[in-house]
Each structure stands twice: as C-alpha cells, then as structure tokens.
C-alpha cells in the first residue's frame, strides 16, 4: 500500500491488486452528525442525498446512466463521524466513474426545488427508522448515553432540522467540512497508478486547505433507564455497559468479551437464554467504538411477559463472566475475528473501507500484519480485565421499546446494578 499526500493535505491511498479486473474507490470525508449542531443536525446526511441530485454539468439522470453504462456501483452513506462516497467498476472505467464522483463532490447543483423533493425522501427514511423497533431502541439508547453530545443524535436529523435545510446551509457546511484536511481517497484493485494520481491532482489539487482538520472532544456518558412505549408484539431491550474508544489499545479485548458473551451462536447468552430457556427470539452482545468513547451493549427481542426472567439471567451471566471466561472461549472468538478479517480483506471494497476509515479517524493505517498481530496477542487476562470494567457494579443502562414496564420496575428487576 502506498500513501501520497497532495500539497493541500489531501491523502491518497493506493492498494494495487493487479490480478483483479476491477477497482474499488472510496472518498471519506470527516462530516457526520458528531460535527453538527442542533440547528444543522442531519446536514451531512442531506448532503449525501443531494450529491446524487445532479451537478453543474450533469443531471441526476445522467449520473445514473453513466453508472449503469459502465456496469458499476456508485453509492454513498453517512455515519456519525464521516461520510463515504464509494464505487466499484471494471478497471477500464475507473477514470469515468472517478470523474463523476469528483464532480458530485465538488460541484453539486443544490437546487432549491430538488432539495425540497429530497427532504420528503429523507423524512420517509426517518419514519422507516421509527417503524423499526430495533433501530428506534438503539437511537434512543445512544441519545441517552451521550445526552450532551451530538454523537448521541440520529444522523438523519429531526423533522425540524430537515425542514430548515437550505442550499445555503448545505454550501456553508461543505465549505467548512469538505476540505482536503478532512478527506481521504482510496483505490483498491487493478488500476493505473499514474492515471489515478493525475486524476486526484486534476480534480482535488486546487482545493485550498482551511486549517480545519478532524478534531473531537471525548463526550460524557450517562447512566439511565429509558422506556419508549409502543404497541408491539415483542419488546426490544438494549443494556449498556462501559466501553473503550476507537483508539484504545484494549479495544480488541472488549470486542472479544462481547463476542464470547453474546456475539455468536455458541456464545453464553445465546446458548443460555435462547437455546436452553427459550426466553428470547434474538440476543446479541457487541461493542461500538467512536473517537474518544465507546459502549458495550446487550440487545434482545422478547415478549413483555419474559422480560423479568431474561433480564435477571442476563445480569447473572454478566456478573459471573469476568472470572469464568475460559481460554477455549477466547480462542474460538479469535478464530471468528481472524476469519472475518481475512475474508473481508479479500474484497477490495472492504479493504478500501478499512483503509479509508483508519486513515481519516486514526491518522494511520495499520498493515495487515499489524492488524492480525493485535487480534492474536489478546490474552485471557486482557479479556477478564475488560469484562471486569464492563460489568463493575452500578454501571448498567437500559433502553426498552414496546409494551414496557415502569422505570421503577426495571430498577427492581436489575437490582443493585442501577
């Protein structure tokens, strides 16, 4: 892998795979809900939509036609800390698709009429999240866990913030955040090195640096019980425990602890409360990490009548976990992680994603050898130490969606943990 930095600070990463016949392209931009304000919440996501609505020289239809003519896939998504535009095409069409991607990013039309139409689309997308109890539960959990930070907000925004978007709002945000210091371009696959470097210089070389690199402040977390009454056949519960930031050396230990607890079919929670006790339809444990903060979660879907038994058993398993986790369980979790990473790296798109996110958020890209070594070197003591931090007394939060109980009742079920 080769890194090239243009004079304006734009970073380009080249990962040649000459045996392929296609190229994956990714443009990563440090623009997401975390860097917005209550008034501009959702603007990064709105921009992602508007980039496909046409440029100064290409209509939205023409962008779609070029994508289809080349047989490629051009798309985008918005996360809490960044926006990504990505494509995968046959190598012979790399120049064509990259020129379109660059034009969308640098010269979006941002017409008022099209923005008003797209607001309706975004509002429909927001409604779809609210109709999904799993999505709603996680949104409400994050909002309560980071109550004084934009990281806790839904990337789509509120009805009010979406309605208030204007072309000028979007342009002002792009002038601040769509800048070379907050951009990373990645090529992975078969491509002509000199050609793609020339393309990056041609389209992005004239961008001026603004002195606005990606910065963050570690947010404060809160402990809470939150209920969201909703007429559902199944309740969705998310339990939250302490976690670690994306840049923390203990990240893999926390990830393994969650995998052993409830992340796989052989995990303790799945085997106990689903297979043996039949209390839930689904149960999962996972760790989510951002810059400066993180959280460990247990999520499950079940009937309201089974909540008490399930919650009590989950808490019993969590309390016993640090001192009972075994070497065999750790080795199984390692194999799962190593296999997942290995298979992911076989895809140029997944590899480009790893490179782009690491470069943008962490400022460096670990080699594959470094990544595998970090996964392998986690010890049983590391996992036990992480688990003790996760499940230390009094550090559990809960968000419940559905035919919920009272906050007092949940506190009673969870006992001294809340």
Question: Mean pLDDT in the chain?
Answer: 95
pLDDT at residue 210, as a whole number = 86
pLDDT at residue 395, as a whole number = 87
Residue 212 lies in a domain: no
* Structure-model confidence comparison of residues 121 and 394, the more confident one: 121
Residues 385, 28: Cα–Cα separation, whole Å: 34
- Average pLDDT for 331-335: 97
Three-class SS of 62-128: HHHHHHHHCCCEEEEEECCCCEEEEEEEEHHHHHHHHHHHHHHHHCECCCHHHHHHHHHHHHHHHHH
Asked whether residue 269 falls in the same domain as residue 167, the answer is no
pLDDT digit string (tens) for 132-142?
999 999 999 99
Asked whether residue 322 falls in the same domain as residue 357, the answer is yes
Q: Enter the DSSP assignment of 156.
A: T
Asked whether residue 57 falls in the same domain as residue 177, the answer is yes
User: Residue 81 contacts by C-beta under 8 Å, 6 or more apart in sequence?
Assistant: 30, 32, 34, 35, 151, 216, 290, 291, 361
Kindly report which listed range (344-348, 370-374, 412-416) carries the lowest average pLDDT score. 412-416
pLDDT at residue 294, as a whole number = 97
Q: Give me the sign of the Cα torsion angle 349, 43, 363, 361.
A: negative
CA-based nearest residue to 261, from 321, 201, 301, 320: 321
- To the nearest 5 percent, what fractions of the chain are helix, strand and coil? 50, 20, 30
Rounded to a whole number of angstroms, the CA Rg of the chain reads: 23
User: Residue 282 contacts by C-beta under 8 Å, 6 or more apart in sequence?
Assistant: 274, 299, 300, 301
Residue 261 lies in a domain: yes
Residues 107, 53: Cα–Cα separation, whole Å: 11
Would you say 180 and 12 are in contact if contact means Cβ atoms under 8 Å apart? no
Asked whether residue 61 falls in the same domain as residue 145, the answer is yes
Residue 317: C-alpha distances to residues 68, 252, 265, 277, 286 (Å): 51, 21, 16, 13, 15
Domain endpoint, select from 174, 204, 234: 204
Which band of pLDDT confidence, cut at 50, 70 and 90, is reported for residue 179?
Answer: very high
CA-based nearest residue to 179, from 11, 368, 380, 2: 11
Q: Is the pLDDT of residue 417 over 70?
A: no
pLDDT at residue 64, as a whole number = 95
Domain endpoint, select from 151, 169, 204: 204
Q: Enter the DSSP assignment of 54.
A: B
pLDDT at residue 209, as a whole number = 85
Asked whether residue 143 falls in the same domain as residue 253, the answer is no
The DSSP code sequence of 194-242 is HHHHHHHHHHHTTPPP-S------PPP----EEEEE---SSEEEEEEEE
Q: Output the pTM of the full model.
A: 0.93
- Average pLDDT for 392-397: 84
pLDDT digit string (tens) for 63-107?
999 999 999 899 999 999 999 999 999 999 999 999 999 999 999
pLDDT digit string (tens) for 264-308?
999 999 999 999 999 999 999 999 999 999 999 999 999 999 999
Asked whether residue 130 falls in the same domain as residue 243, the answer is no
pLDDT at residue 393, as a whole number = 74
Residues 346, 334: Cα–Cα separation, whole Å: 18
Buried/exposed code over 381-397 (b: 16+ C-beta within 10 A; e: otherwise): ebbbbbbebbbeeebbb
Q: Is the pLDDT of residue 416 over 60?
A: no
What's the CATH code of the domain at 195?
3.30.830.10
Residue 216 lies in a domain: no
Residue 34 lies in a domain: yes
pLDDT at residue 140, as a whole number = 96
Asked whether residue 157 falls in the same domain as residue 186, the answer is yes
CA-based nearest residue to 351, from 77, 25, 30, 84: 25
Range of the domain at 341: 225-417
pLDDT at residue 410, as a whole number = 93
Residues 339, 261: Cα–Cα separation, whole Å: 19
pLDDT at residue 415, as a whole number = 75
Asked whether residue 90 falls in the same domain as residue 127, the answer is yes
Q: 380-390 and 307-324 are packed helices; what angle lies between their axes, rounded to 10 degrees?
A: 140
pLDDT at residue 211, as a whole number = 83
Residue 112 lies in a domain: yes
Asked whether residue 275 falls in the same domain as residue 131, the answer is no
Residue 88 lies in a domain: yes
- Average pLDDT for 375-380: 97
Asked whether residue 179 falls in the same domain as residue 241, the answer is no
Asked whether residue 249 falls in the same domain as residue 197, the answer is no
**Paired residues of 108 in beta bridges:** 55
Residue 128 lies in a domain: yes
pLDDT digit string (tens) for 180-222?
999 999 999 999 999 999 999 999 999 998 888 899 999 999 9
Domain endpoint, select from 142, 171, 204: 204
Q: Which residues are catalytic?
A: 48
Q: How many domains would you assign to the chain?
A: 2
Q: Is the pLDDT of residue 333 over 70?
A: yes
Q: Is the pLDDT of residue 328 over 70?
A: yes
Asked whether residue 170 falls in the same domain as residue 235, the answer is no
Residues 309, 323: Cα–Cα separation, whole Å: 23
Residue 11 lies in a domain: yes
């Amino acid at each position: 892998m080769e890194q090239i930095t243009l004079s304006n600070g734009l970073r380009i990463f080249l990962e040649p795979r000459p045996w392929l016949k296609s190229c994956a392209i990714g443009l990563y931009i440090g623009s997401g809900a975390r860097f917005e304000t209550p008034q501009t919440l959702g603007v990064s996501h709105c921009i992602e939509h508007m980039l496909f609505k046409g440029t100064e020289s290409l209509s939205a239809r023409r962008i779609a036609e070029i994508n289809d003519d080349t047989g490629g896939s051009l798309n985008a998504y918005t996360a809490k800390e960044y926006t990504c535009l990505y494509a995968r095409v046959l190598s012979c069409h790399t120049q064509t698709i990259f020129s379109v991607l660059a034009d969308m990013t640098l010269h979006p039309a941002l017409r008022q009429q099209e923005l008003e139409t797209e607001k309706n689309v975004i509002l429909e997308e927001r409604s779809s999240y609210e109709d999904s109890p799993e999505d709603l539960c996680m949104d409400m959990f994050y909002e309560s866990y980071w109550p004084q930070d934009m990281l806790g907000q839904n990337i789509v925004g509120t009805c009010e913030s979406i309605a208030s978007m204007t072309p000028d709002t979007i342009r002002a945000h792009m002038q601040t955040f769509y800048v070379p210091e907050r951009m990373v371009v990645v090529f992975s696959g078969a491509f002509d090195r000199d050609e793609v470097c020339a393309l990056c210089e041609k389209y992005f070389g004239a961008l001026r640096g603004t002195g606005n690199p990606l910065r963050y402040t570690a947010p404060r977390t809160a402990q809470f019980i939150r209920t969201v009454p909703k007429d559902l056949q199944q309740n969705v519960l998310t339990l939250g425990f302490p976690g670690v930031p994306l840049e923390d050396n203990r990240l893999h230990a926390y990830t393994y602890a969650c995998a052993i607890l409830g992340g796989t079919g052989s995990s303790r929670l799945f085997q106990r409360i689903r297979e043996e006790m039949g209390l839930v339809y689904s149960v999962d444990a996972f760790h989510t990490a951002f810059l400066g903060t993180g959280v460990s979660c247990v999520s499950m879907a079940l009937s309201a009548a089974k909540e008490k038994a399930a919650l009590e058993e989950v808490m019993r398993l969590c309390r016993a976990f640090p001192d009972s986790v075994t070497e065999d369980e750790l080795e199984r979790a390692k194999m799962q992680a190593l296999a997942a990473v290995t298979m992911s790296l076989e895809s140029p798109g997944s590899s480009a994603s790893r490179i782009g996110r690491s470069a943008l958020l962490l400022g460096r890209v670990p080699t594959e050898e470094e990544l595998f070594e970090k996964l392998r070197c986690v010890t049983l003591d590391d996992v036990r130490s992480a688990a003790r931090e996760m499940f230390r007394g009094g550090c559990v939060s809960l968000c419940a969606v559905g035919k919920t109980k009272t906050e007092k009742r949940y506190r009673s079920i969870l006992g001294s943990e809340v």
